[in-house]
Amino acid sequence: MPTLRLGSVAPNFQAETTHGTIDFHQWLGGQWAILFSHPDDFTPVCTTELGEVARLKPEFDKRGVKVIGLSANDIASHDRWIKDINELSGSQVQFPIIGDKDRKVATEYDMLDALDATNVDAKGMPFTVRTVFVIDPKGIIRLMLSYPASTGRHFQEILRVIDSLQMGDKHRITTPVNWQKGDKVIIHPSVQGDDVKRLFPDAEIVKPYLRFTKAPAEA
Q: What is the mean pLDDT of each run of 10 residues along the chain (219 residues)?
A: 87 97 98 95 96 97 98 96 97 97 92 61 66 98 93 96 97 96 96 94 95 84
Domain count, the chain: 2
Q: Has this prediction a pTM greater than 0.85?
A: yes
Q: How far is CA 20 from CA 14, 69, 90, 99, in A?
A: 11, 13, 24, 10
Q: Say if residue 31 is in the same domain as residue 66.
A: yes
Is 167 part of a structural domain of the chain? no
Q: Say if residue 29 is in the same domain as residue 66.
A: yes
Note down the domain range covering 192. 172-213
Q: Say if residue 51 is in the same domain as residue 125.
A: yes
Q: Say if residue 147 is in the same domain as residue 180.
A: no
pLDDT, residue 124, reads 56
| From 10, 28, 35, 46, the catalytic residue | 46
Q: Say if residue 138 is in the same domain as residue 99.
A: yes
Residue 69 a catalytic site member:
no
Q: Say if residue 116 is in the same domain as residue 54.
A: yes
* Contact in structure between 186 and 211 (CB atoms under 8 Å): yes
**CA 44, CA 152: separation in Å to the nearest integer?**
10
